[in-house]
Amino acid sequence: MKKILARLALISFALITAACGNKGSSSETSSSVEPSISSDTSMPSSNSLAPSSSDPKIVDNQLSASNGLKVYFKEQGARIDKIEFDGKQIAKDGFTVGRVANRIAGGKFTLNGTQYSVTKNDGNNSLHGGGRSWQGPFAITNWKKEEQTINSIKYSIVSQDKDNGYPGEMKMFVTYTLSETGELSIEYSATTTQDTLCNPTNHLFIDINGSRSYSNVKLQIAGSNYTPLDNNKIPTGEVKSAAGTKFDYIDEKAFKSSESYDDNYVLDKEKGAFGKAATLTGTQYKVDVYTDRPGLQLYKDGSGNICLETQMMPDAINHPEFDKYGTTVLKAGETFTSKTTYHFSKLGA
């Protein structure tokens, strides 16, 4: 009997020890490493945070409005994956562009007396921040999802000092907010450890009819002037009237599908003011664009998509004549902020 009791005691002790040894163990790990630019990143990250609310209406990386608009996002490029209205896709692939949207001539600029060379990915030019893709490094990198609420999503990225040749470590946040009436706002904020350049945008491809066609599409741009380009797609420094040219969309008119576009307009508003930039109208839906940026890039991709990219003047760092519109220089200790809104609505609603 004593032997049996002894064995039972030993078994009980072993069970208690095993239980104590397993208590608190977990396969979960955490990391404090912030995201940084990596030209090898090609797949969406798996570090999404859980929705910051227990509200069952929150769907990961998705925002919805009561007017039938749904916007889907991806961490790669902190991008708008697609936009649907009543189930029809009318826009897609709105990746974040940075550090500098558009082109920098020869991939060179001088800042505070020092000349910098940034990577070239568009012939002899640096496009959308350089890197190995024409989309730029911000577009192909996985951003960190900071938080999501019922009507907003916030992403962040850290671009290391000398990333593609740019000085200073830059941290940028992009926050998307969708109102119940279909206003999709994009707010940018950025800081840097050294004086650098900052001119982000979103490269949203809009197919307002969802038909991959330019037929039955009208355009109006609130810019009566544009910046002519040389043969290398670099601004000459001039500002010319759009009236009577292929750029003339001062009044709403049918989109000129036979023309090619990759050109910048100077918007007709006060410096720094938040105001109208453009309206793109289809047969059922339209989008009104508002921004605090002074310029708007009109781009036609040849596949039924039109891009309306808000920005500073292209190659502004190399054109002091553009200083009157603002600057692309972000100084250490200062914070860059900007806002652009795409208001999607139904015709007749």
Domains of the chain listed by start with CATH number:
62-346 (2.70.98.10)
**Cβ–Cβ under 8 Å, residues 84 and 90:** yes
**pLDDT at residue 1, as a whole number:** 44
Q: What is the DSSP string of 47-77?
A: -PPPPSS--TT-BTTEEE-TTSEEEEEETBT
**pLDDT at residue 54, as a whole number:** 59
**Cβ–Cβ under 8 Å, residues 82 and 73:** no
**pLDDT at residue 348, as a whole number:** 85
pLDDT in tens, the chain (349 residues): 444 444 444 444 443 333 333 333 333 322 223 334 533 333 333 333 444 455 778 899 999 999 999 999 999 999 999 999 999 999 999 999 999 999 999 999 999 999 999 999 999 999 999 999 999 999 999 999 999 999 999 999 999 999 999 999 999 999 999 999 999 999 999 999 999 999 999 999 999 999 999 999 999 999 999 999 999 999 999 999 999 999 999 999 999 999 999 999 999 999 999 999 999 999 999 999 999 999 999 999 999 999 999 999 999 999 999 999 999 999 999 999 999 999 999 998 7
What is the rounded CA–CA span in Å between residue 320 and residue 313?
Answer: 11
Closest CA to 156 of 200, 199, 189: 189
Rg (CA), the chain: 25
In this structure, how many other beta carbons lie within 10 angstroms of the beta carbon of residue 27?
A: 4
Place of tokens 């000129």: 256
β-pairing verdict for 69-74 and 79-85: antiparallel
Q: Residue 94, exposed/middle/buried by CB under 10 A (0-12, 13-18, 19+)?
A: buried
- Please identify every residue annotated as catalytic: 203, 309
What is the rounded CA–CA span in Å between residue 292 and residue 274?
Answer: 4
**pLDDT at residue 184, as a whole number:** 98
What is the rounded CA–CA span in Å between residue 313 and residue 292?
Answer: 13
Tokens coding 16: 């208690």
Dihedral sign computed on CA atoms, order 142, 336, 170, 266: positive
Closest CA to 42 of 74, 3, 83: 74
What is the rounded CA–CA span in Å between residue 133 and residue 121?
Answer: 7
**pLDDT at residue 8, as a whole number:** 42
Closest CA to 309 of 91, 158, 148: 91
